[in-house]
A and B are shown apart, each in its own frame.
Chain A
Amino acid sequence: MAEKVLMKGNEAIAEAAILAGCRHYFGYLITPQTEIAAYMAKKMPKIGGCFLQAESEVAAINMVYGVASTGKRVMTSSSSPGISLKSEGLSYLAGSDLPALVVNVQRGGPGLGGIQPSQSDYFQATKGGGHGDFKMIVLAPSSVQEMASLTVKGFDLADKYRMTSMILADGTMGQMMEPVSLEEAAVADYDKSWAVTGTKCEREHNIINSLSLVPEELEQLNFKRYEKYKTIEENEVMYEEYMMEDADICVSAFGIAARVAKNAIAMARAEGIKVGMIRPITLWPFPVKAFKAAAEKVNSFISVELSMGQMIEDIRASVEYNKPVTLCNRAGGMIPSPEQVLEVIREANKGGNK
């Protein structure tokens, strides 16, 4: 293991991206993710990479499209309103089957909203994030170490499946410092024979395009893409189970909410309440099977979110509406306290055994 250093979550993402072989970053500054761009601005020129502060988010995501077309690892980052601006580009990336990494360090919304942490872009991230039928692989780090490791993972999955990976973090994850150990990532040899790299008159032209005017053909492209999504749903789900062995109540939370929930679970366990947690690490593909299995054992679920309740819909669907799912939330840049979560756990516990 490399020596542990203290780093902000945003900086850990930037350094991990570089270690994963990313040499192209395009972005536009916005709180609370600006440290990613700042880090790239400092580091990229020194290692022969490209940092470019675009004139807008729209420009940045289209620069990502350009580099992605050449098969090189490329990323952009922003925060909530900036991701909305990028959504057209996200759809084009999907329509052209291009690998890229996009980071969203969420802030309170809607609209310009505020700058404090939020998780209210869950729907936007997990249900597509632009027009048309498509998915992004959505990774939700819950520590600075995961900000780094999931960045590496995100690049790998993007290359493996030729699609966009999104890191869905929040202001707290971006701004907090924790010890992190960073190592050069081994980059697997992915097939990039589709990339536009110049034919040297030795092969057919590769064409990167999302326009397809024949509906029969466009339908087939959609069918094929959804076959790929099915494979991902089978193979790439990641989640953490915490104290679930004997649990009567299952808390679910990701990112900063999971950190708060762990405190609450420790407090509830001290009172003798049997409570555990499923922490989705991939928000898409969602750990449907894990929740379905948990529904066989627990009496009820609690979804802790920094939103008006978005992930809760996926939990309810996963447990097929067979068990009650309660929302414990704050919104607009506020964060639930462990005491608030504990109170909801206590209430759930009053429901008694099934």
Chain B
Amino acid sequence: MATTQILIAGFGGQGVLFAGKFLAYKGLIADKQVSWLPSYGPEMRGGTANCSVIISDTPVGSPIVGTPDVLVAMNLPSLKKYENDVAKGGIIIVDSALINEKVERDDVTTYYVPATKMANDEGFSTLANMILMGKLMKVCEEIGFDGTEAAINKVVPPKKANLIEVNLKALKTGYDFE
């Protein structure tokens, strides 16, 4: 009876909402109960954006993630804002290419992934978000890699089907990153 609460946070434009939608679809395909809730309003226009995703074996109550099991931080303000909210024993995944500081807590497991740099090096500079999702699938066993391709097929709009492959590559890059 597992429930995984995920919070993805960063700047508007980093693909925070898209990454969350991918996870939600992945959960749906795995026959789980899911919810996806974005921040909306002025913060999306150049400020911080975040998105709550819940993937559960039981019906989702509140879709608001107050105590995430997994935090994916894509900029420093997001890490500072949410670091202390993460559940004890939870996971924090940090884009270390954009965040120079270390996580101060020692009761969570932190993974530093220079996702933005990796994305630039690989030639898909806009997909740091999916590299981080790859890492998340690796370190969070409730999520795992299964169903990834089907979820990407759902979440990439048909008009942009040419981007499916590169998204999968970004996910794999993050998944394989040690």
Contacts and interface: CB of A to CB of B under 8 A. Distances in A.
Contacts of B63: 172, 176, 178, 256, 259
A178 B40 contact: no
A337 B67 CA distance: 11
Interface in B1-58: 21, 24-25, 28, 33-38, 40-42
Contacts of B35: 176-178
A6 B34 contact: yes
A171 B33 CA distance: 21
A31 B24 contact: no
Interface stretch (A83-91, A260-268, A309-317, A319-327): A260-268
B62 interface: yes
A335 B66 CA distance: 11
B64 interface: yes
Interface in A236-283: 256, 259-260, 262-263, 266
B166 interface: no
B158 interface: no
Contact of A337 (B38, B60, B66): B66
A177 B38 CA distance: 9
Nearest to B58: A266
Contact of B37 (A31, A115, A172): A172
B125 to A, nearest CB: 27
Contact of A115 (B21, B25, B36, B41): B41
Contacts, number: 62
A179 interface: yes
A171 B40 contact: yes
A262 B61 contact: yes
A338 interface: yes
Contacts of B40: 31-32, 115, 171, 175
Contacts of A262: 61-62
Contact of B62 (A4, A171, A178, A263): A263
B61 A175 contact: no
B41 A338 contact: no
Given A259-B63, A266-B61, A6 B41 contact: no
A176 B62 contact: no
Given A6-B21, A177-B24, A179-B28, A338 B62 contact: yes
A53 interface: no
A116 interface: yes
A175 B38 contact: yes
30 contacts: A6-B24, A6-B34, A6-B154, A31-B40, A31-B41, A115-B40, A115-B42, A116-B41, A171-B40, A172-B37, A172-B64, A175-B37, A175-B40, A176-B37, A176-B38, A177-B24, A177-B36, A178-B34, A178-B63, A179-B28, A179-B34, A256-B62, A259-B62, A260-B64, A263-B61, A266-B61, A335-B64, A337-B64, A337-B66, A338-B66
